[in-house]
Structure formats: structure tokens, C-alpha cells
Amino acid sequence: MVMVSELLDASEPAPYEVHRPGATAPQLVVCDHAARRIPRALDHLGLSQEHRASHIAQDLGAGELALALSARLNSTAVLCNYSRLVVDCNRALTDASAFLDRSDGVEVPGNLGLSAEDKELRAAAIYRPYRGAIDRELDRLCSIVEAPVLIAIHSFTRFLDGEDRRWDCGVLWDLDARIARPLLDGLREDGTLLVGDNQPYSGRHPEDFTVDHHAEDRNFPYAAMEVRQDLLDTPAKLERMADRIHAALEPILSDPGLYTLRS
């Protein structure tokens, strides 16, 4: 049995990283699937280097996009430092997909037959510290505004399980449309982007736990975005997409009336 102290030894990165700590812009940018790192004690989860570098291990380009957007907003960003295959920080721990033993047709040997104790070790080492960092930053921003904005960044592969997902990007939302509707309009304005409304994933299912738990449960406004990975695969493309998202968000976020609790 791998103990928490062995799971992340002193030479390994912390479970999360905070960029621009103490920034006073009333938004927090988060990225649950920013990294592909696997604790050494888990022996790569039995995966090949090719699979560890693929979309099954992380949202390719999403961490870099989150940092580029937070730089434009001059806001704090919190990124998870470990792979979604170790524990998916965008799921409730009770969700079966929090510990996948197969992803996009690829078996994950290190996740086969996990015990409750195995799952708890990963949750204690990575999941809960990451959740706690988000809560602390949002609580800090509550001293500046009544309701800070949470911005969650993800990316998606065009083809998944044989499905062609043709959208360039998507806006995910459920109970609170304060940002989602004008963001959809702004991204679609010049007609050059195919923008999904709750596509390729929906904000109306339980698999977007970060937004549900940290924003909707607290009645905070939020923006949750998915961007197709081939639009982020070079620095120039990534910067261009960050500019597009920032341009669409800026007039929305500049409204002081946004930073109130959803009624």
C-alpha cells in the first residue's frame, strides 16, 4: 500500500500551483487537467510514454491557455499539477469516472481494481489540496467583491470514441447564464468560430464538478470553456485563441453588476 508521504515525495511538485497569488482582479482562472504528471510511486500507471503524452492524460494546451488568459486579466490562476488519470479533479470522488480504468479505448493498468484506500490516498494527496486552493483563492476574492467570477478552462480532442467533434470551442453552463449567453454571442460575432452551446460537453451533467461545487453551489458567476486541442498546438495559435476569449470576456467582466450572488 502506497502511503500519502510516498505518493508525493519531497522531490515531486506540489499537487497544485498558484500563479499571480494576491492578484486583486475579481476573477479566478482554474485548470483541472493542466498536467500529465503521474507520481513516481504509481509507476506511470502502467501506461506507455505515448499514452502519457496524449489527451487521455491531460487537456492538451489547456494549462497554457489558462495562464495566457489569466495574464491578460491580471488574475490569479490555480492549476492542478497531476494527471486526470491519477484522480480527476473535475469529478466528485463518488463518480466512477474519477478513477478511470479505461479512457478512449486505452486500458489504464494502474487503475484496475483500486480499493477505497487506494482512492483515498490519491484524493488526500492531490484532489483535496487542489480543491482547498481554489476555495482559499475564492474566499480571498470575496473580500474584494461579493461574488468573484470562476473561469474554468478545458480542451478537447476532435475525435473521441469515433465521434467527430467539429466545434472550435464550447461554452458550458447550467443554472447561471450571466456570462455564458453574452460569451457565446461574443465568440460567434465575426462568424469565424464554430462555438458550441453546451457542446462538446454539457454543463448540465455532474461531470463538471469544479464549476458545480465552487461556483454554482456558492451562487458565483462563472465561465466554463472547452477549446479544441488542435487550435492550441502551437504558441501562435494558443495566443490567438487567448486573445479571442479575452476579447469576448472583457466587456462582460467589466460590468460591476456582474459580481453579485445569483438570486
Amino acid (one-letter) located at 69: L
Would you say the C-alpha torsion 67, 71, 73, 74 has a positive or negative sign? positive
> Does residue 263 fall inside a structural domain?
no
> Does residue 204 fall inside a structural domain?
yes
How many domains is the chain partitioned into structurally?
1
> Does residue 165 fall inside a structural domain?
yes
Residues listed for the chain: 263
Query: Could you tell me the residue range of the domain that residue 224 belongs to?
Result: 4-255
Residue in the block written with cell 474584494: 144
> Does residue 262 fall inside a structural domain?
no
Provide the 10 A C-beta neighbour count for residue 100.
Answer: 18
pLDDT of residue 164: 81
pTM value? 0.95
pLDDT of residue 5: 54
> Does residue 189 fall inside a structural domain?
yes
Q: Which three cell numbers stand for residue 24?
A: 486583486
Pairing of strands 169-172, 222-228: antiparallel
Helix boundaries (H) for 61-115: 62-73
Q: Which three cell numbers stand for residue 258?
A: 456582474
Residue in the block written with cell 491578460: 72
What parts of the chain have a pLDDT lower than 50?
1-4
> Does residue 48 fall inside a structural domain?
yes
Residue in the block written with cell 463518488: 94
> Does residue 261 fall inside a structural domain?
no
Going by C-beta distance under 8 Å and a sequence separation of 6 or more, which residues neighbour residue 262? 147, 175, 176, 178, 219, 220, 221
Residue 33: phi, psi to the nearest 5? Answer: -115, 40
Residue 29's H or E segment, with its range, is strand 27-31
> Does residue 162 fall inside a structural domain?
yes
pLDDT of residue 1: 35
From 44, 155, 165, 60, select the one nearest 106 (Cα to Cα). 44
Q: What angle do CA 112, 114, 120 make, to 5 degrees?
A: 145
Q: Tell me, what CATH number does 163's domain have? A: 3.40.630.40
